[in-house]
Structure 1
Amino acid sequence: MYRVKNIRLLAAIISIGFLSFLGIVVETALNIAFPQLTEIFVIPISQVQWLTTGYMLVSTSLIPFGSFFLKRFRVITLFRVSCLSFLAGTLIAGYANSFQLVLLGRLCQGIADGIALPLMFATILNQVAQKKVGTFMGIGSLVIAFAPAVGPIYGGIIQDTLNWHFLFIILVPFIIAAWVVGELSIKQVTPVRHVAFDARGGFFLAIFLTTALMFVVNLTANSSSIQLNLSLLGVACLSGMIFLHSEKNKSNQLLALSLFKNKQFVRLLSAFFLLQFSSLSMSYLIPNVLQILFHQSPSLAGILVAPAAVINALLSVAAGMIYDKTTPRLPIISGCAVIGLTFLYAVLITPDISRLIVIYMFFMVGLSLSYSNIMTFSLSQLPVNLINDGNAIYMTAQSYSAAVGIAISSSIISLMQAQRGNLLLGTRQGLEINFLILFLVAIFTLLLCLVSLKIMHVHQIKKA
């Protein structure tokens, strides 16, 4: 009976997470098809990039509402909305004959991801026994982590053999299969209740999240004006302050802002943010440097980075098991230490193809050990009634750190290329600067984890 329950729960987790998996696959596959889409629709690359930017904006704006959704609606209802939105978006984009329709399809997929991503981790945190939560969090991370390995290869094959429409059309049976599995396996374990929606707070939170993310994304756009960026920054700051003031004394807060007074939570959230920042920086740097500096084709670059993504996916489960069977200190600290040593090596050596692949693989080893376990440990320290709020905050931080990582790494490469007036020399120096920044980030991340885990260890000794 217990085994059947675990299998059913595992099926529910995978069916929910599979929508986020497909979203990342499409995103990474589309990156390869961007040049083709610019020719088909006769538009600049900056406009095509809205297929990614729009997806991120919608998804990131919805994620913080995950805690409210879980209080107000049944899990299966949220899953159905997510599946329907993703299926509709996929069909719209798959049969589109204009860029506007493709963008509409991607926005619908973004809605699905904004609901499904926090829903998957909430299902794990609310339904898995404490002694197994690390393993199941690792499985949840595997579902998402495996997507970057599949996306570039999938996109390359479709581009070489079919047309871009099939990037979407082929996904339809997989979406339907996930929907069926979810219908058969998802169950409700916590009661839902009518919770009033804070419309004013929700409006200003959405404005803050959207403008802040657009500001970060625009840092990479050389054509973006200073006036636009300042306007976005101003609106983000103003809406953020209004949201904080609006939520200050409310009983039905959209997010438990009191969590930000918890120093332990903030330290671990910061470490999580910096690890995701490093991960997305690397996911941008390695394939692009392989293409620009070492003249590899997009499909070959995708194949070269695939082993690192596979390592990340598979080790995520092993890291969760280590977390469950030993102590959080072991996987988290060892993972951060591996990342620090990896970037130290990256700073000291002269890069070539094989060294870049090795650096990326070792980085993924460290990331697998530490990343999801930091979130698991942090949320395990919260009161039960705040776990869903903490989960929503972590998922929001994940989205923003991804945008910041790509923005900063790509801006440094672009800046050095422009300053040197030489594509190859600028790319090489940009890579060196990025590696130095990532090394400093890794050291700070390790310190945050050491302090947090040491304090928790001391508290546990005192209690004993």
Structure 2
Amino acid sequence: MNISKKQKSVLIILVIGTFLGFLNQTLMNVALPNIMHEFNIGPGLGQWITNGYMLVNGVMVPLTAFLIQRLTTRRLYLTAVGLFAIGTLIAGFAPNFTVLITGRMIQAMGAGVFGPLMNVIVMNLFAPDKRGGAMGLIGLALNFAPTLGPTLSGFIVTNLSWRFLFFIVAPLIIADFILAYFLLQNIGEQKMLKFDFIGVVLSSIGLGSLLYGFSNAGATPWSEFTVWGFIVIGLIVTALFIWRQFSTKTPLLNMAVLKQREFVIAMLINIVLMIAMYGGALMLPLYMQTIRGASAFISGLVLFPGALVTAFLSPWSGRLYDQYGVKYLTLIGILITAAGTIVLASLTLTTPLWFAVIGQFIRQLGLVLVLMPIQTEAFNALPLALMPDGSAMFTTVRQIAASFGTAALVTIMTRSSLSYGKTHASTLDVLIQLHGIKITFLTAAALMLVGAALTLLFKNKAPRDFI
């Protein structure tokens, strides 16, 4: 892909910031036991290291649609990177758990801006027939970083202190701030929009409640108020937020994006993929560590080849999108992902670990053909004026679907294990748990087939046809 010097420098800056932001979503998972031990806290409080980050990140995203249009590109990105850097340093030197959580929250405030801003800048910089290649490069950050997180974290925590998870990130994000200060230019037009305070309050409460309820569902029964209660509150308040966006003259998020057919189809496929991908990805580490007794680091190594294929093939998938369009590329990718998921559903107590590596590798190979192409297709369907709103909506729905998917598939695993245990009382506990994991992988594969069916609704236009 031939790009100018300006485009190249902007892409480098965006990829670094977005990579570090998404890396931090999964970087702390493996370190949680060490942090809980050092600060003498329980799992309920400890989960806020990850859940709190995801919550603030998710609440920030709808606000970015306003910020992207109201502030200059340079000012917004420097502010976001600055917040992320400050939060990283606070968390790294945290003397207690309260300060650590505060640092993580500040990190998340900055990281919540990266994804939507990145999408808008790329759509403004590149012509439609070049956007796939550009978004493929961005896919290095969006898809490689979360997969790399557990492996990197396992290595660092095993050989160093959990604090190095922040000390290693800090100089990288500071370097990105310096690069952005000298090289990043303003892109797009600044608009003097009126701030919708009520919209911000409603979106924060609604999305925050939904994400909190779903995050609790991973470890708490759905009958508890902290699960169903917050989900119901979230649904009601989010519905009020959507109603307000349609009724006010100055919406925080312009719902006109939902009138674009290709955008809606891409978003629906993305929902299915996020549910299957994030929930399914949780099952393999559970299998490795709970069923097979492997260490967190070995578990991370099993995931690593899949992460590498994501890194190497993301730019390639973008070029394929530019050349052939979204319909058949997405269909093939989803079917490959489903095949890899079925391979993982066949794991047993004695399956060689290389078989699990192959299954995850196939899953990631399929996903890399899907994730960035459908995102690019969604944004290509929008006029540039709606790009900030479309980017914010797409990212918000992605996070809610990932949170719901994790909760839903963990629930399926738990319920199927309990049911199997009642009818096979003499069976070993590990076999009961293994049954639950198998059923969950098969459920994820079935969801993939739903996504494959949705791809048939696409019009098979190559991006050059939009020019």
| TM-score exceeds 0.5 | yes
The alignment's C-alpha RMSD in Å is 2.3
Report deviation, 1:241. Answer: 2.8
Structure 1 partner of 2:317: 319
Distance in structure 1 (CA, Å) of the matches to 2:320 and 2:77: 30
Which residues in structure 2 correspond to 1:54-133 (within 5 Å)?
Answer: 54-133=52-131
Structure 1 residues not aligned, in runs of 5+ = none
Contact 1:13–1:123 (8 Å) recurs in 2: no
SS at match of 2:4: helix
Distance in structure 1 (CA, Å) of the matches to 2:376 and 2:313: 16
- Between stretches 53-62 and 287-296, larger displacement belongs to 287-296
Structure 2 partner of 1:17: 15
Q: 1:247 aligns with which of 233, 245, 248?
A: 245
- Between stretches 90-99 and 37-46, larger displacement belongs to 37-46
Residue 295 (str. 1) matches residue 293 (str. 2): yes
Q: 1:443 aligns with which of 446, 449, 452?
A: 449
Contact 1:413–1:426 (8 Å) recurs in 2: no
> Deviating runs (4+, > 6 A) in structure 1?
none
Report deviation, 1:223. Answer: 6.5
Contact 1:152–1:302 (8 Å) recurs in 2: yes
Structure 1 partner of 2:381: 381
Deviations 1:42-66 (A, max 9, x none): 1111211101111011111111122
- Between stretches 259-268 and 295-304, larger displacement belongs to 259-268
Residue 390 (str. 1) matches residue 390 (str. 2): yes
Contact 2:144–2:310 (8 Å) recurs in 1: yes
Structure 2 residues not aligned, in runs of 5+ = none
- Between stretches 358-367 and 322-331, larger displacement belongs to 322-331
- Between stretches 35-44 and 158-167, larger displacement belongs to 158-167
Change (3 A) 1:423 1:147: farther
Report deviation, 1:29. Answer: 3.0
Report deviation, 1:327. Answer: 2.9
SS at match of 1:146: helix
Distance in structure 1 (CA, Å) of the matches to 2:278 and 2:174: 30
Change (3 A) 1:35 1:237: same
Residue 360 (str. 1) matches residue 343 (str. 2): no
* TM-score normalised by length of structure 2: 0.91
Structure 2 partner of 1:222: 220
Change (3 A) 1:397 1:377: same
Deviations 1:181-210 (A, max 9, x none): 222332223221211011111111111100
Letter in 1 for 2:156: I
Distance in structure 2 (CA, Å) of the matches to 1:224 and 1:278: 20
Distance in structure 2 (CA, Å) of the matches to 1:170 and 1:337: 38
SS at match of 2:232: helix
Letter in 2 for 1:84: G
Contact 2:132–2:373 (8 Å) recurs in 1: yes
Distance in structure 1 (CA, Å) of the matches to 2:415 and 2:380: 42
Structure 2 partner of 1:256: 254
Letter in 2 for 1:391: S
Distance in structure 2 (CA, Å) of the matches to 1:333 and 1:267: 13
Structure 2 partner of 1:430: 436
Report deviation, 1:344. Answer: 4.2
* TM-score normalised by length of structure 1: 0.92
Deviations 1:55-85 (A, max 9, x none): 0111111111222111100111111111111
Distance in structure 2 (CA, Å) of the matches to 1:267 and 1:389: 16
Distance in structure 1 (CA, Å) of the matches to 2:98 and 2:315: 40
Structure 2 partner of 1:285: 283
Distance in structure 2 (CA, Å) of the matches to 1:72 and 1:361: 42
Distance in structure 2 (CA, Å) of the matches to 1:67 and 1:24: 19
Report deviation, 1:125. Answer: 0.9
Q: 1:176 aligns with which of 174, 177, 193?
A: 174
Report deviation, 1:255. Answer: 1.4
Report deviation, 1:149. Answer: 4.4
Deviations 1:85-125 (A, max 9, x none): 11111111111111000000000111011111111111111
Letter in 2 for 1:449: T
Change (3 A) 1:341 1:150: closer
- Between stretches 80-89 and 404-413, larger displacement belongs to 404-413
Distance in structure 1 (CA, Å) of the matches to 2:224 and 2:94: 34
Deviations 1:382-441 (A, max 9, x none): 223222211111111221122122212323333445552854123211111112211211
Contact 1:14–1:140 (8 Å) recurs in 2: no
Contact 2:283–2:441 (8 Å) recurs in 1: no
Change (3 A) 1:430 1:87: same
- Between stretches 225-234 and 207-216, larger displacement belongs to 225-234
Percent identical residues? 25
Query: Number of aligned pairs?
Result: 456
Residue 339 (str. 1) matches residue 345 (str. 2): no
Change (3 A) 1:423 1:124: farther
- Between stretches 218-227 and 386-395, larger displacement belongs to 218-227
Contact 2:289–2:299 (8 Å) recurs in 1: yes
Contact 1:26–1:168 (8 Å) recurs in 2: no
Distance in structure 2 (CA, Å) of the matches to 1:452 and 1:150: 32
Contact 2:220–2:227 (8 Å) recurs in 1: no
Structure 2 partner of 1:26: 24
SS at match of 1:104: helix
Distance in structure 2 (CA, Å) of the matches to 1:276 and 1:251: 33
